[in-house]
């Protein structure tokens, strides 16, 4: 078959590009080196039969609210995509035995906040009331190519609709750290910690500039809409996109390793597989991979005139000899702990916590800052930050009747361990450390949910090294495919001069979390590139 476009990598951004292009009449081939499509959106029975665990991404709220899903919802739903709403989206537990959480009932959330600080409850209510008018402008900002005339129009409309003062205050938020922005608006440290925990999801410790936006957006969006989970697992979006591509005459081929991009005359003409098979593409090659894998690997062949390859062993180098996009700085690593349980945790802070999709164990901004500093120094944090997902509360079919599963994400860990901040574990490769460090994480969970250890039927631990081994885009176990600090965001993602998904090679484009608008399940880069290529 003659292919109009070839997508390298079957992560959700690559699949989204293929879905949109196929809807415009393009014939698209997606090549994936792994045995299953999905990238960082995968679901599997890794503990016991009948327990379906989301291996990496669990929260599909960004996908549910994305322009991509809005444009292709009918086709995707007909192909089997099903989402489950979670009204009680997130909560935080504190060391004093109390908790604070957000659900879609504004009065209920405000009552919890008011019990701690009535003025903060009123501030929250006013902020939520204004969110409905502010959100379209902010989401338009994050859903527009940068730089572009379309982005200029978005900014112009913001200024016309909201005024200079609002625009300047929004700019201040975009530049602020979580601590500074939250501290200027809320008095209660627990509320600040509950919101600030979202910053660590995008590599923003409490004192890192540029980290205020995500705590604001996640808190307000979850208040307004709740959280969306995938029915039966997050891979519902992957299976549906694959089916839609195939229905349009395309193909998603797994266990297909691309060895190089075929570049002739300065233009990408197709790809060469590991078995030397050449597959041509008439219009475009789209690389849904980390820029180090593209510039330090697939373009690093004499035939393509690419850059010098990294050594054959070890992680790809970030040497200055590589082009700027390949030097994208990774964020901290992540560990995943999947638990099959007899029953849900018995939360010390109160049984109502069993209703929440996410429970953050991140009791204060100071504790989060300490954990972040330790990890960035190459140390195993003394007290990790945990995101405890309880998906079977809203989707009981993920586990056998009467039983449950937990999705435990251990945030901000070093890719290469230089030491232990607690002084208990000697430096070693993650393969030797992961079970011991998982024990530390679960001991912390036990403090907040006494008896949880006795409820565990089986566990499966994925270290930062395991994340990279399963998905090379997750360099060093960085689930974000590159830090989102200000010097690597907007037109600097993955590097200045390489925005709008261009690579410097004609007809070769790059999408994924390493490109604007960054990580998450919103399918933004794949959809925006596909619209650009197809003309709509």
pTM (2 decimals)? Answer: 0.95
- pLDDT tens per residue, range 219-271: 999 999 999 999 999 999 999 999 999 999 999 999 999 999 999 999 999 99
- The yes-or-no verdict on residue 19 having pLDDT over 70 is yes
Q: Could you identify the residue written with the tokens 């979202």?
A: 198
- Rounded to 10°, the helix 149-162/164-175 angle is 120
pLDDT band at 308 (very low <50, low <70, confident <90, very high): very low
Q: Could you identify the residue written with the tokens 């399940």?
A: 521
Q: Measured between alpha carbons, how far is 329 from 477 in angstroms, rounded to an integer?
A: 13
Return all residues near 439 (Cβ < 8 A) that are at least 6 apart.
none
Q: Are 462 and 40 in contact (CB under 8 A)?
A: no
DSSP annotation of 233: S
- pLDDT tens per residue, range 497-523: 998 999 999 999 999 999 999 999 999
Query: Measuring CA to CA, which residue among 372, 515, 148 is closest to residue 526?
Result: 515
Q: Measured between alpha carbons, how far is 324 from 294 in angstroms, rounded to an integer?
A: 12
Per-residue pLDDT at 499? 85
Per-residue pLDDT at 303? 40
Query: Measuring CA to CA, which residue among 497, 499, 494, 484 is closest to residue 529?
Result: 499
pLDDT (mean) for 132-142: 95
Please give the mean pLDDT across all residues of the chain: 95
CB-side exposure of 355: number of CA atoms within 13 Å?
13
Q: Could you identify the residue written with the tokens 């591509």?
A: 245
- Provide the pairing of β-strand 333-341 with 404-413: antiparallel
Domains delineated in the chain: 3-47+57-83+234-328+481-534 (3.50.50.60), 105-224 (no CATH), 330-470 (3.90.660)
DSSP H or E stretch at residue 408: strand 404-413
Helix (H, G, I), strand (E, B), or coil: what is residue 523?
Answer: coil
Per-residue pLDDT at 315? 46
Per-residue pLDDT at 300? 74
Per-residue pLDDT at 391? 98
- pLDDT tens per residue, range 348-375: 999 999 999 999 999 999 999 999 999 9
- The yes-or-no verdict on residue 313 having pLDDT over 60 is no
């Amino acid at each position: 078959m003659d292919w109009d476009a070839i997508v390298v990598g079957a992560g959700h951004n690559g699949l989204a590009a293929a879905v949109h292009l196929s809807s415009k009449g393009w014939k698209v081939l997606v090549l994936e080196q792994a045995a299953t499509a999905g990238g960082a959106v995968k679901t599997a029975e890794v503990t016991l039969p009948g327990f379906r665990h989301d291996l990496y991404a669990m929260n599909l709220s960004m996908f549910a609210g994305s322009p991509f899903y809005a444009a292709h919802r009918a086709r995707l739903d007909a192909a089997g995509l099903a989402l489950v709403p979670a009204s009680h989206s997130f909560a935080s537990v504190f060391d004093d035995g109390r908790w604070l959480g957000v659900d879609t009932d504004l009065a209920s959330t405000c009552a919890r906040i008011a019990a701690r600080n009535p003025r903060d409850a009123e501030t929250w209510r006013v902020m939520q009331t204004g969110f409905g008018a502010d959100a379209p402008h902010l989401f338009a900002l994050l859903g527009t190519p940068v730089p572009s005339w379309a982005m200029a129009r978005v900014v112009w409309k913001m200024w016309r609709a909201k005024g200079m003062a609002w625009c300047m205050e929004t700019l201040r938020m975009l530049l602020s750290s979580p601590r500074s922005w939250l501290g200027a608006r809320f008095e209660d440290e627990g509320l600040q910690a509950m919101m600030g925990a979202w910053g660590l999801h995008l590599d923003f410790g409490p004192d890192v500039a540029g980290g205020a936006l995500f705590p604001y957006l996640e808190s307000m969006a979850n208040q307004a809409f709740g959280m969306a989970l995938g029915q039966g697992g997050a891979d519902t979006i992957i299976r549906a996109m694959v089916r839609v591509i195939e229905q349009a005459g395309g193909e998603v081929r797994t266990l297909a390793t691309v060895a190089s991009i075929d570049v002739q005359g300065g233009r990408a003409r197709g790809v060469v597989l590991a078995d030397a098979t050449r597959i041509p593409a008439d219009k475009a090659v789209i690389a849904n991979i980390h820029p180090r894998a593209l510039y330090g690997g697939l373009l690093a062949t004499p035939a393509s005139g690419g850059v010098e390859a990294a050594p054959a062993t070890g992680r790809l180098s970030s040497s200055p000899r590589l082009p700027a996009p390949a030097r994208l700085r990774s964020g901290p690593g992540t560990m995943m702990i999947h638990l099959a349980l007899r029953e849900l945790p018995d939360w010390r802070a109160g049984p109502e916590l069993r209703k929440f999709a996410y429970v953050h164990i991140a009791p204060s901004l100071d504790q989060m800052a300490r954990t972040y500093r330790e990890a960035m120094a190459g140390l195993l944090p003394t007290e990790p930050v945990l995101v405890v997902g309880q998906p079977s509360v809203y989707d009981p079919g993920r586990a056998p009747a009467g039983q449950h599963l937990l999705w435990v994400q251990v945030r901000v860990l070093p890719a290469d361990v230089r030491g232990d901040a607690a002084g208990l574990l000697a430096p070693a490769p993650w393969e030797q450390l992961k079970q011991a460090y998982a024990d530390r994480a679960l001991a912390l969970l036990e403090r907040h949910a006494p008896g949880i250890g006795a409820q565990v039927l089986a566990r499966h631990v994925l270290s930062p090294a395991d994340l990279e081994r399963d998905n090379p885009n997750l360099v060093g176990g960085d689930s974000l495919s590159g830090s989102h600090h200000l010097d690597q965001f907007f037109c600097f993602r993955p590097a200045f001069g390489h925005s709008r998904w261009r690579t410097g090679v004609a007809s070769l484009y790059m999408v994924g979390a390493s490109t604007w608008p960054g990580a998450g399940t919103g399918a933004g880069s794949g959809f925006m590139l596909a619209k650009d290529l197809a003309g709509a």
